[in-house]
Amino acid sequence: MINAIIVEDELIQIAYLQNLLDDFFPEVRVVDTIHSESEVVQRLTERSFDLLFLDVKLGNSNAFELLEQLPQIDFHIIFISGFESYALQAIKSNAVDYLLKPFNVNELRVAVNKVTDRINNKESEISKSLNELPGAENCLCISERDSYTFIPCQTILYCKSEGNYTNIFVSNEKGDIETILSSKNLFHFEQKLCLNNFVRIHQSILVNKSKIRKIQKGSRELILSDGTILEIARDRKSEVLARLMR
């Protein structure tokens, strides 16, 4: 999920952009909208977010002057403007894109895709570095909203696909089951070396072999050590049994 803030002094433009994001970009969540230039610096400093939609002209100020007042810029910026003349300055400010009003959903999609690519590339670089730490070969590194979580592979019960995402079911120190959502798909985890001890029982489910307690004869029910019941795909049962009996 990409958390976004809209800074725009025209309320009708805020409504237009927010409606486009709500209707066509479920991966973008607007966490704040700011239309008063006097509030911009304080409210941007107080919030944690990934993407800023920033109007170039804000009352008597311009966006570049306001950005200079921020202690740091650790977010991506898409400028929006009714003037072409600021585009070069926006590029020099490392903007992801510059949308000229009135922009349409296709132009917005190109800009948002650029942000998504930048975020994914940065996360891949960080995740690669973290995975090279000592002992990381026995863990999964999951990028979450505010942190990177290391999950010992032996604590994972199973992974379940949720579209392009994956839910990871983990047994914690107390024996309770926690669910961690990753933006990576199930195939990504199937390729991880530390999951060699896992078996795919269904197109959407990858199970830790050491957590399997029994498989019911005459059915396709698989029961895990915590009592969770999963169903093996009809065309995978023979393969699953063969792998478990090696």
Predicted confidence at residue 131, as pLDDT, reads: 55
Give the residue with greater pLDDT, 89 vs 236.
236
Chain segment 73-98, per-residue pLDDT in tens: 888 999 998 888 777 787 777 788 98
42-46, 113-117, 128-132: the lowest-pLDDT one: 128-132
CATH of domain 136-244: 2.40.50.1020
Sign for the pseudo-dihedral over CA of 208, 212, 217, 220: negative
The confidence band for 18, taking pLDDT boundaries of 50, 70 and 90, is: very high
Predicted confidence at residue 135, as pLDDT, reads: 47
- Percentage of the chain with pLDDT > 70? 90
Please compute the mean of the pLDDT values over residues 221-237 and round it to a whole number. Answer: 91
Vertex 241 angle, CA 236 and 244, to 5°: 125
Predicted confidence at residue 229, as pLDDT, reads: 93
Is residue 9 over pLDDT 60?
Answer: yes
The confidence band for 157, taking pLDDT boundaries of 50, 70 and 90, is: very high
Place domain 2-125 in its CATH homologous superfamily. Answer: Response regulator (3.40.50.2300)
Burial 36-61 (b: 16+ CB within 10 A, else e): ebeebbeebeeeebbbbbbbbbbeee
Q: State the chain's maximal CA–CA distance in angstroms.
A: 76
Strand order, beta sheet including 165-171: 177-182, 165-171, 156-162, 205-208, 198-202
Q: Where are the domains of the chain?
A: 2-125, 136-244
Parallel, antiparallel or unpaired: strands 212-215 and 205-208: unpaired
2-125 with 136-244: one CATH topology?
Answer: no
Mean pLDDT for the chain? 84
Please compute the mean of the pLDDT values over residues 120-133 and round it to a whole number. Answer: 57
Predicted confidence at residue 124, as pLDDT, reads: 58
Closest Cα partner for 151 from 122, 129, 124, 173?
173
The confidence band for 182, taking pLDDT boundaries of 50, 70 and 90, is: confident
- Among 46-60, 100-114, 168-182, which range has the highest average pLDDT? 100-114
